[in-house]
Structure formats: structure tokens, C-alpha cells
């Protein structure tokens, strides 16, 4: 009886230790390109929904205001992430958004920063009330599996657990039906290649 219990316990411990390694080994990378007539850069490719909890990172994400531009122009993050907005210009800047929760961080001079924690998924337009030509976007998502396309439309989403997913693409120049379109993808190995076109 003791031998049976001991063997069973060892089997349970072994399976507990091995299971995460097997799951990790099955994780893969989604890699591909997006083709769109109105431009392929700064598109956010993301998994709509993934199982599990996705707590925000302890390190803050960063957006700089430099040369009268929000850098990066597009920033995808997971809900709950705090973003630091820095002013690197020699003029006073402001940051506000009319979207979702809506916020206005006020105005501040060069070298200072203000922070905001994004609580709800959605698209948040970033504006400066002092310089209306400035425009940026924070895309708040349910999970970490996302990427921003390069100038040629290329993207890479690493460490995706094996499974069936729906991909979406967000872009400031995409029309509403295009933003709502989904692309099925199956991750079952080291690399999954996809080509998304509109």
C-alpha cells in the first residue's frame, strides 16, 4: 500500500512539473504580413481573446512627445498598464483623450512627465490641446499577443500557446468593417505563417 501511494504521488508530482514544460514547448510564433491599399505601417495585429489572466507589467510603458510628435505613434498595451507621457520638446505640451474613460493630464514643460493607467480595452486617441496637429493612439487589449507592423507590413507575435484563435487588425486608416474583420489562425508548432489582406 505504501509503495502504491508513493508511486502515485511521484507520478502526480512528475506530471505537475512536466505539464508546464510541455505547454511551453507547444507555444509558437505567429508571423506574417498585412497588405492594405492605404498603407501597411503602424497596424496593430492582435489576438482578440486568449484564455488566462494577463496582469499588467510592473514597468510603465512609454510615450514621448518629441519634435511635435507622439513617439511611438501607436502603442498596444494590456488593460491595467500605466503609460508615462514625457515631454522632450522645448515647448509646453498637453495630453488628453476623449475616448472611453476620457482624461486630460494637463500641460507640462520639457523634461517632465505625466502618467495614466488604462483600465478598459479600447482605442484611445492621444491629442495635445496646444498643438492640434499632434496625434497618437493607445490600443488597450485583453492579452499580450499583439504586434505593430513595420513599413512593409511585417509582424511577429511570439510565445503564443498552442490553440485556435481569431486575429484582428487595427489601423487608423482602416474603415469600420475592416476593423471588425477576423482572421482564424491555428498555432500548433514553432511557427505559423499568415498573410492578411484587405
Q: Which domain CATH number covers 31? A: 2.60.40.1120
Domain that holds residue 92: 55-141
Number of domains observed in the structure of the chain: 2
Q: Are residues 73 and 108 in the same domain?
A: yes
Q: Are residues 132 and 60 in the same domain?
A: yes
Q: What is the pLDDT at residue 189?
A: 82
Residue 19: other Cβ atoms inside 10 A: 10
Q: Are residues 76 and 128 in the same domain?
A: yes
Q: Are residues 132 and 62 in the same domain?
A: yes
Let me know if residue 17 belongs to a domain. Answer: no
Q: 72 preceded by cis ω (within 30°)?
A: yes
Average pLDDT over residues 120-128: 97
Q: Are residues 161 and 132 in the same domain?
A: no
Let me know if residue 16 belongs to a domain. Answer: no
The owner of cell 503564443 is 160
Q: Which residues does 39 contact at the CB level (< 8 Å), separation at least 6?
A: 171, 173
φ, ψ for residue 171, nearest 5 deg: -155, 145
Q: Are residues 72 and 43 in the same domain?
A: no
Q: Among the three residues 113, 141, 169, which one is the final residue of a domain in this structure?
A: 141
Let me know if residue 18 belongs to a domain. Answer: no
Q: Are residues 191 and 160 in the same domain?
A: yes
Q: What is the pLDDT at residue 44?
A: 98
Q: Are residues 74 and 118 in the same domain?
A: yes
d(CA 66, CA 45): 26
Q: Are residues 106 and 127 in the same domain?
A: yes
* Dihedral angle, C-alpha 105, 108, 112, 117, nearest 10 °: 0
Lowest-pLDDT choice from 16-30, 38-52, 85-99, 105-119:
16-30
CATH number of 73's domain? 2.60.40.420
φ, ψ for residue 80, nearest 5 deg: 100, -10
Q: Are residues 85 and 101 in the same domain?
A: yes
Q: Is 90 exceeded by the pLDDT of residue 134?
A: yes
Tens of pLDDT, residue by residue over 93-117, are 999 999 998 999 999 999 999 999 9
Q: Are residues 182 and 110 in the same domain?
A: no
d(CA 96, CA 111): 18
φ, ψ for residue 7, nearest 5 deg: -65, -40
The answer to whether the beta carbons of residues 79 and 99 sit under 8 Å apart is no
Q: Is 50 exceeded by the pLDDT of residue 13?
A: no
φ, ψ for residue 91, nearest 5 deg: -120, 160
Model pTM score: 0.85
d(CA 128, CA 130): 5
Q: Is 2 exposed, middle or buried (0-12, 13-18, 19+ CB in 10 A)?
A: exposed
Amino acid at each position: 500500500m505504501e509503495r502504491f501511494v508513493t508511486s502515485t504521488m511521484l507520478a502526480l508530482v512528475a506530471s505537475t512539473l512536466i505539464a508546464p514544460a510541455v505547454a511551453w514547448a507547444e507555444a509558437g510564433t505567429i508571423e506574417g504580413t498585412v497588405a492594405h491599399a492605404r498603407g501597411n505601417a503602424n497596424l496593430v495585429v492582435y489576438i482578440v481573446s486568449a484564455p488566462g489572466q494577463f496582469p499588467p507589467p510592473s514597468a510603465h510603458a512609454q510615450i514621448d512627445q518629441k519634435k511635435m510628435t507622439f513617439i511611438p505613434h501607436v502603442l498596444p498595451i494590456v488593460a491595467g498598464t500605466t503609460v508615462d507621457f514625457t515631454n522632450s520638446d522645448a515647448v509646453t505640451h498637453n495630453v488628453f483623450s476623449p475616448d472611453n474613460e476620457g482624461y486630460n493630464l494637463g500641460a507640462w514643460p520639457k523634461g517632465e512627465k505625466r502618467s495614466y493607467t488604462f483600465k478598459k480595452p479600447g482605442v484611445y486617441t492621444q491629442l495635445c490641446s496646444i498643438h492640434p496637429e499632434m496625434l497618437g493612439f493607445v490600443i488597450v487589449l485583453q492579452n499580450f499577443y499583439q504586434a505593430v507592423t513595420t513599413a512593409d507590413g511585417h509582424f511577429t507575435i511570439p510565445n503564443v500557446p498552442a490553440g485556435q484563435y481569431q486575429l484582428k487588425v487595427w489601423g487608423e486608416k482602416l474603415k469600420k468593417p475592416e476593423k471588425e474583420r477576423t482572421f482564424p489562425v491555428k498555432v500548433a508548432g514553432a511557427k505559423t505563417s499568415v498573410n492578411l489582406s484587405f
